Homo-oligomer: A and B are copies of this chain.
């Protein structure tokens, strides 16, 4: 493709609302243009990267016998009511009525539609298994869209759904999709991790995320230094770096003491000389989902630990992680303001993080403002509803499988697989007649890749101060020719010939044939980020060479014009085309 008809327009300035490098670079490179918050037009270059990624995704699905179809973007209300997600999804699901007054929503995910599609044809066990997928545009009405394609409203997804006879078969499908996703992200040639993950409001009981590593990633991952263990911090079991031994100290008498102005664990530790890890903090959460009653609970952790609300959610079987009580609500429940609260005398369930279990004679708030209690002991001074792992794991913790310790990474979630069991099939009566003539619910799994999100995540991982650095796998073009000296007929002819020769050999070439200064062309080439840049100019030609510049390393190789094709082909072969 030539610049002269490609409608590529780069910008010098980043847009004011772009916070992370990949968003800035995509806008500056003309890759995307915002139509409304969270809604973007994909320019010609972005679309080429997207299509290349889609091709990899399709190939890996097709070769595993997974069949592509295409579902609608507009869904009828009735279908979403069958699973109660019409209500549960809240305002993220964009709902509207059409001219005839029928309720519809824009598809944010397609469990309901695919389950309906399948249940209408599945009669008996002989009609299963089947795994279906689509690549399609979805819409989620994010309150505050940000980070460009990373948290947009309109986005391109690949979503697959498996339908099996038994739980065992469904878990085999899950394993197949796991391997399919590993193959896809390996082919991309980017750094990624597969981590255990929470199932969120999709439901189900087994789930992995595929995370592209990047400094600005929204997710924190904990990965074992030795074994295979890797998890999103949301679900990572916590194991102290050094196990805290059972404490057999004598229980001392509880004492109330004055702690004016000491509101934080750090203050309290400083004032009392007790290390934070031996202080106990009390946090309050509302576990009600709807209704007026907050159903408050208290959670006790060591002062040095952070609470993990996803663990509370899973412990209590809630739909969403519980929210902290406000200061005022805490005051109503505990009789004191936060900073002076503790478990003694509370009339609500008290959950103990396992890290507190072996502590003795510890300090907690007294539920009287500016007072604490020392020598407090669970069991004696207050009753515990349950002991559980409720803290956030952290770098340096032991890996839960006992192999090595945990190292922390930041990642961008680009793929997510779920074993759903019969959650949707039961709700929607998607059954099959078993061998013995009994109706059984279909066993399901669902599997998603954020196509547009992945493309930006790759940039977030692969860029420098000058611009994007595309991996060969999805680079919009492999080669970017900067044709200098446009008034020099010899240069023009050679550039055209090389352009044609490369294209004829299956290399994707972008040629900058604009009437612009070399500096501008080089800057744009760096910004747009194709893996190889060819500089074809009069000066080089006089010396009998063309410059081949590696975008990532900036290494320059001088190549004779008649060697350019073989040089480029060899480089691409080595670099993962």
Question: Could you list which residues of chain A lie within 8 angstroms of chain B, going by C-beta atoms?
Answer: 1-2, 5-7, 9, 30, 33, 35-36, 39-44, 47, 50, 65, 67-76, 79, 91-92, 94, 96-100, 102, 104, 106, 113, 116-118, 120-121, 127, 129-132, 137, 139, 141, 143, 153-154
Question: A73 touches which one: B44, B69, B137 (CB < 8 A)?
Answer: B137
- What are 19 A-to-B residue pairs whose CB atoms are below 8 Å? A1-B67, A5-B130, A7-B67, A7-B130, A9-B127, A35-B72, A35-B75, A35-B79, A36-B74, A36-B75, A36-B102, A40-B72, A42-B70, A42-B71, A44-B69, A73-B139, A73-B154, A74-B153, A98-B153
Which residues of the partner chain B approach A70 to less than 8 Å between Cβ atoms?
41-42, 47, 50
Question: A69 touches which one: B9, B41, B69, B118 (CB < 8 A)?
Answer: B41
| A9-B121, A99-B141, A141-B99 known; A35-B76 Cβ under 8 A | yes
| A74-B154, A121-B30 known; A69-B94 Cβ under 8 A | no
| A65-B5, A67-B5, A121-B7 known; A36-B104 Cβ under 8 A | yes
Q: Which residue of B lies closest to A452 (CB)?
A: B70
Which residues of the partner chain B approach A73 to less than 8 Å between Cβ atoms?
73, 137, 139, 154
Which residues of the partner chain B approach A74 to less than 8 Å between Cβ atoms?
36, 39, 106, 139, 153-154
A72 to B91, CA, bound (A): 20
A255 to B116, CA, bound (A): 72
Which residues of the partner chain B approach A68 to less than 8 Å between Cβ atoms?
44, 47
A41 touches B117 (CB 8 A): yes
Residue of A72, A91, A94, A117 with most chain B CB atoms under a 10 A cut-off: A72
Q: A39-B72, A74-B106, A96-B96 are in contact. List 14 more A-B contacts (CB 8 A).
A: A1-B67, A7-B121, A35-B72, A36-B72, A36-B76, A39-B76, A41-B117, A44-B132, A73-B154, A74-B139, A74-B153, A94-B98, A99-B141, A99-B143
Which residues of the partner chain B approach A154 to less than 8 Å between Cβ atoms?
72-74
| A36-B102, A116-B35, A130-B7 known; A69-B96 Cβ under 8 A | no
Minimal beta-carbon separation of A435 from chain B (angstroms): 15
A69 touches B42 (CB 8 A): yes
Which residues of the partner chain B approach A75 to less than 8 Å between Cβ atoms?
35-36
Count the copies.
2
**Top 5 closest pairs, chain A to chain B, by CB:** A96-B96, A9-B121, A91-B99, A36-B76, A42-B70
Q: Which residue of B lies closest to A97 (CB)?
A: B96
Minimal beta-carbon separation of A356 from chain B (angstroms): 41
Which residues of the partner chain B approach A141 to less than 8 Å between Cβ atoms?
98-99
Which residues of the partner chain B approach A98 to less than 8 Å between Cβ atoms?
94, 141, 153
Q: Which residue of B lies closest to A138 (CB)?
A: B73
Minimal beta-carbon separation of A176 from chain B (angstroms): 12
Residue of A2, A94, A116 with most chain B CB atoms under a 10 A cut-off: A94
A99 to B37, CA, bound (A): 12
Which residues of the partner chain B approach A71 to less than 8 Å between Cβ atoms?
35, 41-42
A544 to B141, CA, bound (A): 63
A120 touches B33 (CB 8 A): yes
B47 touches A132 (CB 8 A): no
Which residues of the partner chain B approach A91 to less than 8 Å between Cβ atoms?
99
Q: Which residue of B lies closest to A93 (CB)?
A: B99
Q: Which residue of B lies closest to A142 (CB)?
A: B99
Minimal beta-carbon separation of A89 from chain B (angstroms): 12
A67 touches B33 (CB 8 A): no
Q: Which residue of B lies closest to A152 (CB)?
A: B72
Which residues of the partner chain B approach A118 to less than 8 Å between Cβ atoms?
7
A137 to B5, CA, bound (A): 25
B143 touches A35 (CB 8 A): no
Which residues of the partner chain B approach A137 to less than 8 Å between Cβ atoms?
73, 137
A113 touches B35 (CB 8 A): yes
Residue of A40, A100, A127 with most chain B CB atoms under a 10 A cut-off: A100
Q: Which residue of B lies closest to A144 (CB)?
A: B100
Minimal beta-carbon separation of A400 from chain B (angstroms): 37
Which residues of the partner chain B approach A106 to less than 8 Å between Cβ atoms?
74
Minimal beta-carbon separation of A506 from chain B (angstroms): 15
A5 to B128, CA, bound (A): 8
Question: A33 touches which one: B65, B96, B117 (CB < 8 A)?
Answer: B117
Question: A41 touches which one: B30, B47, B72, B97 (CB < 8 A)?
Answer: B72
Q: Which residue of B lies closest to A10 (CB)?
A: B121
Which residues of the partner chain B approach A139 to less than 8 Å between Cβ atoms?
73-74
Minimal beta-carbon separation of A109 from chain B (angstroms): 15
Minimal beta-carbon separation of A478 from chain B (angstroms): 17
Q: Which residue of B lies closest to A137 (CB)?
A: B73
Q: Which residue of B lies closest to A120 (CB)?
A: B33
B43 touches A69 (CB 8 A): yes
A117 to B35, CA, bound (A): 8
Q: Which residue of B lies closest to A134 (CB)?
A: B47
A143 to B43, CA, bound (A): 34
Question: A67 touches which one: B6, B96, B102, B117 (CB < 8 A)?
Answer: B6
A9 to B123, CA, bound (A): 11
A107 to B86, CA, bound (A): 24
Which residues of the partner chain B approach A102 to less than 8 Å between Cβ atoms?
36
Which residues of the partner chain B approach A30 to less than 8 Å between Cβ atoms?
121
A99 touches B94 (CB 8 A): yes
| A42-B69, A70-B41, A74-B153 known; A96-B94 Cβ under 8 A | yes
Which residues of the partner chain B approach A39 to less than 8 Å between Cβ atoms?
72, 74, 76
